[in-house]
Structure 1
Amino acid sequence: MKWNNVKSDISAFQLNQVVLGWTCLDLLRLINASRHFPIITVSGEVRSKILAHLNSSDVELGGLLLGSVVSSQDLDSGIVVVNVEDSIESLEFESTSVSLSMGSTVWQRANAAKRSNAFVVGWYHSHPDLGAFFSGTDRKTQRDFFNQQYSVGLVIDPVREEECWFSGPDAIEIAPCNIVMPSDIGPLSYPSQSLRLLEQTSTEVLDLAP
Protein backbone atom coordinates (compact mmCIF):
# COMPACT_ATOMS: atom_id res chain seq x y z
CA MET A 1 0.00 0.00 0.00
CA LYS A 2 1.36 3.42 -0.97
CA TRP A 3 0.76 6.43 1.21
CA ASN A 4 1.08 9.96 -0.16
CA ASN A 5 2.64 12.56 2.11
CA VAL A 6 0.04 15.32 1.76
CA LYS A 7 -1.10 18.03 4.13
CA SER A 8 -3.94 16.82 6.31
CA ASP A 9 -7.35 18.43 5.83
CA ILE A 10 -8.52 17.46 9.32
CA SER A 11 -8.14 19.32 12.57
CA ALA A 12 -8.92 19.14 16.27
CA PHE A 13 -11.34 21.22 18.27
CA GLN A 14 -9.29 23.54 20.42
CA LEU A 15 -9.79 23.03 24.14
CA ASN A 16 -10.67 26.68 24.65
CA GLN A 17 -13.56 26.26 22.19
CA VAL A 18 -15.36 23.69 24.30
CA VAL A 19 -14.74 24.78 27.88
CA LEU A 20 -16.26 28.24 27.82
CA GLY A 21 -17.83 28.93 31.18
CA TRP A 22 -15.85 26.23 33.01
CA THR A 23 -14.25 27.01 36.33
CA CYS A 24 -10.47 26.72 36.67
CA LEU A 25 -10.94 23.71 38.97
CA ASP A 26 -13.13 21.88 36.45
CA LEU A 27 -10.61 22.56 33.70
CA LEU A 28 -7.74 21.29 35.87
CA ARG A 29 -9.70 18.11 36.62
CA LEU A 30 -10.20 17.53 32.90
CA ILE A 31 -6.55 18.11 32.02
CA ASN A 32 -5.40 15.97 34.94
CA ALA A 33 -7.64 13.07 33.87
CA SER A 34 -6.09 13.13 30.38
CA ARG A 35 -2.44 13.36 31.41
CA HIS A 36 -1.51 9.77 30.48
CA PHE A 37 -4.13 8.95 27.84
CA PRO A 38 -7.16 10.74 26.42
CA ILE A 39 -10.70 10.66 27.73
CA ILE A 40 -12.93 8.65 25.39
CA THR A 41 -16.59 9.61 24.99
CA VAL A 42 -19.05 7.34 23.17
CA SER A 43 -22.76 7.93 22.76
CA GLY A 44 -25.21 5.23 23.76
CA GLU A 45 -26.43 5.05 20.18
CA VAL A 46 -22.96 4.35 18.78
CA ARG A 47 -22.23 1.84 21.52
CA SER A 48 -25.43 -0.08 20.73
CA LYS A 49 -24.61 0.00 17.01
CA ILE A 50 -21.16 -1.51 17.60
CA LEU A 51 -22.49 -4.21 19.94
CA ALA A 52 -25.29 -5.15 17.53
CA HIS A 53 -22.73 -5.60 14.77
CA LEU A 54 -20.32 -7.68 16.86
CA ASN A 55 -23.13 -9.85 18.23
CA SER A 56 -24.36 -10.70 14.72
CA SER A 57 -21.82 -13.51 14.20
CA ASP A 58 -19.61 -15.90 16.15
CA VAL A 59 -16.54 -14.97 14.06
CA GLU A 60 -14.40 -11.85 14.45
CA LEU A 61 -16.00 -8.70 13.05
CA GLY A 62 -14.83 -5.12 12.99
CA GLY A 63 -14.95 -1.66 11.52
CA LEU A 64 -13.80 1.92 11.84
CA LEU A 65 -14.60 4.60 14.40
CA LEU A 66 -15.46 8.14 13.27
CA GLY A 67 -15.28 11.07 15.60
CA SER A 68 -13.64 14.29 16.67
CA VAL A 69 -10.70 15.28 18.83
CA VAL A 70 -10.35 17.97 21.48
CA SER A 71 -6.78 19.12 22.03
CA SER A 72 -4.94 21.81 23.93
CA GLN A 73 -2.47 21.98 21.02
CA ASP A 74 -3.08 20.01 17.81
CA LEU A 75 -3.60 16.48 16.48
CA ASP A 76 -0.01 15.52 17.28
CA SER A 77 0.10 16.53 20.94
CA GLY A 78 -2.05 17.78 23.78
CA ILE A 79 -4.91 15.33 23.07
CA VAL A 80 -7.54 15.71 25.79
CA VAL A 81 -10.69 14.02 24.45
CA VAL A 82 -11.48 11.62 21.61
CA ASN A 83 -15.21 11.73 20.96
CA VAL A 84 -16.45 8.66 19.05
CA GLU A 85 -19.49 9.80 17.07
CA ASP A 86 -20.16 6.91 14.67
CA SER A 87 -18.97 3.49 13.55
CA ILE A 88 -18.57 2.09 10.05
CA GLU A 89 -18.77 -1.68 9.92
CA SER A 90 -16.62 -3.60 7.46
CA LEU A 91 -18.89 -5.35 4.95
CA GLU A 92 -16.09 -7.04 3.02
CA PHE A 93 -13.82 -9.16 5.18
CA GLU A 94 -12.20 -12.54 5.72
CA SER A 95 -12.76 -13.81 9.21
CA THR A 96 -12.58 -16.79 11.55
CA SER A 97 -13.20 -17.05 15.27
CA VAL A 98 -9.61 -15.93 15.89
CA SER A 99 -8.69 -13.66 12.96
CA LEU A 100 -10.03 -10.79 10.88
CA SER A 101 -8.96 -9.09 7.65
CA MET A 102 -11.09 -6.09 6.66
CA GLY A 103 -11.47 -4.96 3.04
CA SER A 104 -10.54 -1.51 1.76
CA THR A 105 -14.13 -0.43 1.04
CA VAL A 106 -14.69 0.37 4.72
CA TRP A 107 -12.08 3.13 4.37
CA GLN A 108 -13.84 4.49 1.29
CA ARG A 109 -17.15 4.66 3.14
CA ALA A 110 -15.48 6.29 6.15
CA ASN A 111 -13.74 8.88 3.98
CA ALA A 112 -17.06 9.72 2.32
CA ALA A 113 -18.47 10.58 5.76
CA LYS A 114 -15.41 12.58 6.82
CA ARG A 115 -15.58 16.28 7.70
CA SER A 116 -12.83 18.65 8.77
CA ASN A 117 -13.57 18.02 12.46
CA ALA A 118 -14.97 14.47 12.13
CA PHE A 119 -12.76 11.75 10.74
CA VAL A 120 -11.43 8.23 11.40
CA VAL A 121 -10.23 8.21 15.01
CA GLY A 122 -9.70 4.47 15.33
CA TRP A 123 -11.08 0.99 14.84
CA TYR A 124 -12.97 -1.74 16.66
CA HIS A 125 -13.19 -5.51 16.43
CA SER A 126 -14.36 -8.53 18.39
CA HIS A 127 -12.68 -11.45 20.16
CA PRO A 128 -15.57 -13.91 20.54
CA ASP A 129 -15.07 -15.86 23.78
CA LEU A 130 -11.32 -15.13 23.79
CA GLY A 131 -11.29 -12.18 26.17
CA ALA A 132 -10.74 -8.49 25.50
CA PHE A 133 -7.07 -7.82 24.80
CA PHE A 134 -4.81 -6.66 21.98
CA SER A 135 -2.92 -9.53 20.35
CA GLY A 136 0.43 -9.07 18.67
CA THR A 137 -1.40 -8.78 15.34
CA ASP A 138 -3.75 -6.17 16.78
CA ARG A 139 -0.79 -4.12 17.99
CA LYS A 140 0.80 -4.30 14.55
CA THR A 141 -2.47 -3.14 12.97
CA GLN A 142 -2.60 -0.23 15.40
CA ARG A 143 1.01 0.70 14.69
CA ASP A 144 0.67 0.40 10.90
CA PHE A 145 -2.74 1.99 10.28
CA PHE A 146 -3.85 3.81 13.45
CA ASN A 147 -0.59 5.40 14.50
CA GLN A 148 -1.68 8.94 15.34
CA GLN A 149 -1.60 10.17 18.93
CA TYR A 150 -5.40 10.40 18.89
CA SER A 151 -5.94 6.94 17.34
CA VAL A 152 -7.91 4.54 19.51
CA GLY A 153 -8.60 0.82 19.29
CA LEU A 154 -11.55 -0.96 20.86
CA VAL A 155 -11.73 -4.73 21.32
CA ILE A 156 -14.88 -6.39 22.65
CA ASP A 157 -15.59 -9.97 23.65
CA PRO A 158 -19.38 -10.07 23.15
CA VAL A 159 -19.61 -13.53 24.73
CA ARG A 160 -17.83 -12.70 27.99
CA GLU A 161 -19.07 -9.09 27.87
CA GLU A 162 -15.56 -7.65 28.20
CA GLU A 163 -14.00 -4.66 26.48
CA CYS A 164 -10.68 -2.81 26.39
CA TRP A 165 -9.62 0.46 24.77
CA PHE A 166 -6.12 1.29 23.54
CA SER A 167 -4.54 4.56 22.45
CA GLY A 168 -1.79 5.77 20.15
CA PRO A 169 0.77 3.94 18.00
CA ASP A 170 2.04 1.97 21.01
CA ALA A 171 -1.48 0.75 21.87
CA ILE A 172 -1.40 1.86 25.51
CA GLU A 173 -4.37 0.47 27.42
CA ILE A 174 -6.72 3.22 28.56
CA ALA A 175 -7.91 3.10 32.17
CA PRO A 176 -11.65 2.37 32.52
CA CYS A 177 -12.13 5.64 34.41
CA ASN A 178 -11.28 7.51 31.20
CA ILE A 179 -14.09 5.87 29.20
CA VAL A 180 -17.12 8.15 29.51
CA MET A 181 -20.32 7.03 27.82
CA PRO A 182 -23.16 9.51 28.33
CA SER A 183 -26.08 9.27 25.93
CA ASP A 184 -25.93 11.40 22.80
CA ILE A 185 -23.28 13.80 23.94
CA GLY A 186 -21.18 15.92 21.62
CA PRO A 187 -17.53 16.84 22.20
CA LEU A 188 -17.88 18.29 25.72
CA SER A 189 -21.17 19.94 24.82
CA TYR A 190 -22.35 19.36 28.39
CA PRO A 191 -19.22 19.89 30.48
CA SER A 192 -20.91 19.63 33.84
CA GLN A 193 -22.29 16.18 32.94
CA SER A 194 -18.92 14.99 31.67
CA LEU A 195 -17.13 16.16 34.77
CA ARG A 196 -19.67 14.54 37.10
CA LEU A 197 -18.95 11.22 35.39
CA LEU A 198 -15.22 11.79 35.67
CA GLU A 199 -15.50 12.61 39.36
CA GLN A 200 -17.56 9.47 39.98
CA THR A 201 -15.23 7.09 38.13
CA SER A 202 -11.76 8.53 38.76
CA THR A 203 -10.05 8.03 42.11
CA GLU A 204 -6.78 9.61 41.04
CA VAL A 205 -5.69 12.42 43.31
CA LEU A 206 -5.51 15.78 41.56
CA ASP A 207 -1.88 16.68 41.07
CA LEU A 208 -1.30 20.37 40.38
CA ALA A 209 2.47 20.10 40.29
CA PRO A 210 4.10 21.24 37.01
Structure 2
Amino acid sequence: MDWQELESLQPETIAAEAVLLSDDLQRWKSGADSAVVVHADAMQQMQAHAASSSNEIMGILRGRALAEGGRTLTLVLRAEPTEKASETRTSVHMTLASWQQAWSTMHDDLPMVGWYHSHPGFGVFFSYTDSASQRAYFREPWQVGVVIDPHSGEAGAFLGRESVPVTMWTAEQIAG
Protein backbone atom coordinates (compact mmCIF):
# COMPACT_ATOMS: atom_id res chain seq x y z
CA MET A 1 0.00 0.00 0.00
CA ASP A 2 1.20 3.46 -0.79
CA TRP A 3 0.16 5.73 2.07
CA GLN A 4 0.72 9.44 2.00
CA GLU A 5 0.21 11.77 4.91
CA LEU A 6 -2.24 14.50 3.99
CA GLU A 7 -0.31 17.48 2.65
CA SER A 8 -2.12 19.99 4.83
CA LEU A 9 -0.61 18.24 7.86
CA GLN A 10 2.86 16.99 6.89
CA PRO A 11 3.88 16.57 3.25
CA GLU A 12 5.76 13.31 3.63
CA THR A 13 5.17 9.75 2.53
CA ILE A 14 4.47 7.34 5.34
CA ALA A 15 3.80 3.63 5.21
CA ALA A 16 0.84 2.53 7.31
CA GLU A 17 3.15 -0.08 8.77
CA ALA A 18 5.18 2.77 10.31
CA VAL A 19 2.30 4.15 12.37
CA LEU A 20 0.01 1.20 13.09
CA LEU A 21 0.84 -1.88 15.09
CA SER A 22 0.22 -5.17 13.29
CA ASP A 23 -3.18 -5.93 14.88
CA ASP A 24 -4.45 -2.43 14.11
CA LEU A 25 -3.00 -2.59 10.60
CA GLN A 26 -4.88 -5.83 9.93
CA ARG A 27 -8.07 -4.37 11.38
CA TRP A 28 -7.72 -1.29 9.16
CA LYS A 29 -7.04 -3.35 6.02
CA SER A 30 -10.14 -5.48 6.62
CA GLY A 31 -12.41 -2.63 7.72
CA ALA A 32 -14.47 0.18 6.29
CA ASP A 33 -13.30 2.96 4.01
CA SER A 34 -12.55 5.35 6.85
CA ALA A 35 -11.73 4.84 10.51
CA VAL A 36 -10.42 6.54 13.62
CA VAL A 37 -7.81 5.06 15.94
CA VAL A 38 -7.60 6.71 19.37
CA HIS A 39 -4.59 6.16 21.62
CA ALA A 40 -5.74 4.70 24.95
CA ASP A 41 -4.30 7.65 26.91
CA ALA A 42 -6.26 10.12 24.75
CA MET A 43 -9.47 8.12 25.22
CA GLN A 44 -8.92 8.00 28.97
CA GLN A 45 -8.39 11.76 29.08
CA MET A 46 -11.58 12.41 27.07
CA GLN A 47 -13.59 10.11 29.35
CA ALA A 48 -12.18 11.68 32.53
CA HIS A 49 -12.88 15.19 31.22
CA ALA A 50 -16.45 14.21 30.25
CA ALA A 51 -17.06 12.64 33.67
CA SER A 52 -15.77 15.74 35.48
CA SER A 53 -18.87 17.82 34.79
CA SER A 54 -22.63 17.48 34.60
CA ASN A 55 -22.45 20.03 31.77
CA GLU A 56 -21.33 19.34 28.24
CA ILE A 57 -17.57 19.78 27.89
CA MET A 58 -15.22 19.90 24.91
CA GLY A 59 -11.62 19.69 23.84
CA ILE A 60 -9.37 19.37 20.84
CA LEU A 61 -7.81 16.26 19.35
CA ARG A 62 -4.29 16.16 18.00
CA GLY A 63 -2.64 13.48 15.92
CA ARG A 64 -2.08 12.47 12.33
CA ALA A 65 -4.21 11.75 9.30
CA LEU A 66 -3.42 9.30 6.54
CA ALA A 67 -5.19 8.87 3.23
CA GLU A 68 -5.19 6.41 0.38
CA GLY A 69 -7.57 7.20 -2.43
CA GLY A 70 -10.95 7.80 -0.82
CA ARG A 71 -9.97 6.06 2.42
CA THR A 72 -8.91 8.02 5.48
CA LEU A 73 -7.38 6.96 8.76
CA THR A 74 -7.31 9.50 11.57
CA LEU A 75 -4.93 8.76 14.41
CA VAL A 76 -5.79 10.58 17.64
CA LEU A 77 -2.68 10.71 19.76
CA ARG A 78 -3.69 13.41 22.26
CA ALA A 79 -6.85 14.89 23.72
CA GLU A 80 -6.56 18.35 25.22
CA PRO A 81 -9.44 19.76 27.29
CA THR A 82 -10.38 23.33 26.48
CA GLU A 83 -10.85 25.88 29.18
CA LYS A 84 -13.09 28.90 29.07
CA ALA A 85 -15.67 27.23 26.82
CA SER A 86 -19.28 28.26 27.35
CA GLU A 87 -20.85 25.16 28.96
CA THR A 88 -24.42 24.32 29.92
CA ARG A 89 -26.21 21.03 30.65
CA THR A 90 -27.20 20.66 26.99
CA SER A 91 -24.64 22.66 25.00
CA VAL A 92 -21.05 23.77 24.79
CA HIS A 93 -19.51 26.48 22.63
CA MET A 94 -15.92 27.42 21.96
CA THR A 95 -15.28 31.03 22.86
CA LEU A 96 -12.47 33.16 21.47
CA ALA A 97 -10.63 32.66 24.77
CA SER A 98 -10.98 28.86 24.54
CA TRP A 99 -9.66 28.84 20.94
CA GLN A 100 -6.72 31.03 22.00
CA GLN A 101 -5.99 28.68 24.89
CA ALA A 102 -6.15 25.65 22.57
CA TRP A 103 -3.73 27.19 20.06
CA SER A 104 -1.35 28.31 22.82
CA THR A 105 -0.85 24.69 23.96
CA MET A 106 0.38 23.57 20.55
CA HIS A 107 4.15 23.74 21.03
CA ASP A 108 5.06 20.79 18.83
CA ASP A 109 4.35 19.67 15.28
CA LEU A 110 1.36 17.49 16.15
CA PRO A 111 -1.57 19.07 14.29
CA MET A 112 -5.19 19.39 15.35
CA VAL A 113 -7.22 16.57 13.78
CA GLY A 114 -10.57 17.29 15.39
CA TRP A 115 -12.56 17.88 18.55
CA TYR A 116 -14.50 16.03 21.19
CA HIS A 117 -17.42 16.86 23.42
CA SER A 118 -19.80 15.15 25.79
CA HIS A 119 -23.51 14.37 25.79
CA PRO A 120 -24.03 13.59 29.49
CA GLY A 121 -26.92 11.14 29.58
CA PHE A 122 -28.13 11.97 26.04
CA GLY A 123 -26.40 9.24 24.02
CA VAL A 124 -23.89 9.31 21.21
CA PHE A 125 -25.03 11.22 18.12
CA PHE A 126 -24.25 14.43 16.27
CA SER A 127 -26.91 17.07 16.83
CA TYR A 128 -27.75 19.75 14.29
CA THR A 129 -25.46 22.14 16.21
CA ASP A 130 -22.66 19.54 16.32
CA SER A 131 -22.92 19.03 12.55
CA ALA A 132 -22.87 22.81 11.98
CA SER A 133 -19.73 23.10 14.13
CA GLN A 134 -18.09 20.24 12.23
CA ARG A 135 -18.91 21.90 8.88
CA ALA A 136 -17.57 25.25 10.07
CA TYR A 137 -14.34 24.19 11.77
CA PHE A 138 -13.49 20.55 10.94
CA ARG A 139 -14.58 20.05 7.35
CA GLU A 140 -11.68 18.05 5.93
CA PRO A 141 -12.57 14.39 5.23
CA TRP A 142 -10.06 13.21 7.87
CA GLN A 143 -11.14 15.61 10.63
CA VAL A 144 -13.01 13.90 13.43
CA GLY A 145 -15.62 14.81 15.99
CA VAL A 146 -15.89 12.43 18.93
CA VAL A 147 -18.95 12.34 21.20
CA ILE A 148 -18.76 10.75 24.65
CA ASP A 149 -21.67 9.97 26.94
CA PRO A 150 -20.06 9.69 30.38
CA HIS A 151 -23.21 8.13 31.86
CA SER A 152 -23.28 5.14 29.50
CA GLY A 153 -19.56 5.03 28.74
CA GLU A 154 -20.29 5.03 25.00
CA ALA A 155 -18.30 7.00 22.45
CA GLY A 156 -18.62 7.53 18.71
CA ALA A 157 -16.70 9.21 15.91
CA PHE A 158 -17.96 11.34 13.03
CA LEU A 159 -15.76 12.35 10.08
CA GLY A 160 -15.57 15.32 7.79
CA ARG A 161 -17.90 18.00 6.59
CA GLU A 162 -20.89 15.63 6.51
CA SER A 163 -20.26 14.21 10.01
CA VAL A 164 -20.36 10.62 8.76
CA PRO A 165 -20.35 8.03 11.57
CA VAL A 166 -17.22 5.87 11.30
CA THR A 167 -15.55 2.96 13.02
CA MET A 168 -13.47 4.01 16.02
CA TRP A 169 -11.23 1.83 18.11
CA THR A 170 -8.81 2.39 20.93
CA ALA A 171 -5.18 1.22 20.69
CA GLU A 172 -2.86 0.78 23.65
CA GLN A 173 0.05 1.77 21.43
CA ILE A 174 0.49 3.39 18.05
CA ALA A 175 3.86 2.85 16.40
CA GLY A 176 6.11 5.75 15.50
Q: Name the TM-score, length of structure 2 as normaliser.
A: 0.80
| Shift in Å, 1:164 | 1.6
CA distance in 2, matches of 1:179, 1:10: 21
CA distance in 2, matches of 1:114, 1:168: 25
SS in 1 for 2:171: coil
1:12-161 to 2 correspondences below 5 Å: 14-15=13-14, 17-19=15-17, 30-31=28-29, 33-35=31-33, 37=34, 39-72=35-68, 78-112=70-104, 113=106, 115-116=108-109, 118-161=110-153
| Shift in Å, 1:90 | 1.1
Please point out which of 164, 170, 175 is paired with 1:172: 164
The alpha-carbon distance between structure 1 residues 14 and 34, as it changes in their structure 2 partners (threshold 3 A), is: farther
Give 2:66's aligned amino acid: V
Percent identity (aligned): 29
CA-based RMSD of the aligned residues comes to: 2.7
Give 2:9's aligned amino acid: I
The alpha-carbon distance between structure 1 residues 184 and 30, as it changes in their structure 2 partners (threshold 3 A), is: closer
Structure of greater Rg: 1
Check conservation: 1:110, 1:120, Cα contact below 8 A: no
CA distance in 1, matches of 2:58, 2:11: 25
CA deviation vs aligned residue, 1:94-147 (integer Å, no higher than 9, x gap) = 11110111223443444442655x211110000111111111000000000111
Check conservation: 1:64, 1:89, Cα contact below 8 A: yes
SS in 1 for 2:77: strand
Which structure shows the bigger proportion of residues in strand conformation? 2
Check conservation: 1:142, 1:171, Cα contact below 8 A: yes
Check conservation: 2:60, 2:116, Cα contact below 8 A: yes
CA distance in 2, matches of 1:94, 1:129: 19
Q: Which runs of 5+ in 2 are unaligned?
A: 1-6, 19-23
The alpha-carbon distance between structure 1 residues 184 and 136, as it changes in their structure 2 partners (threshold 3 A), is: same
The alpha-carbon distance between structure 1 residues 13 and 98, as it changes in their structure 2 partners (threshold 3 A), is: farther
CA deviation vs aligned residue, 1:36-77 (integer Å, no higher than 9, x gap) = x2x2111111111111111001000011100101223xxxx6
Q: Name the TM-score, length of structure 1 as normaliser.
A: 0.68
The alpha-carbon distance between structure 1 residues 162 and 19, as it changes in their structure 2 partners (threshold 3 A), is: closer
How many residues are matched?
Answer: 165
SS in 2 for 1:51: helix
Q: Which runs of 5+ in 1 are unaligned?
A: 1-7, 21-25, 190-210
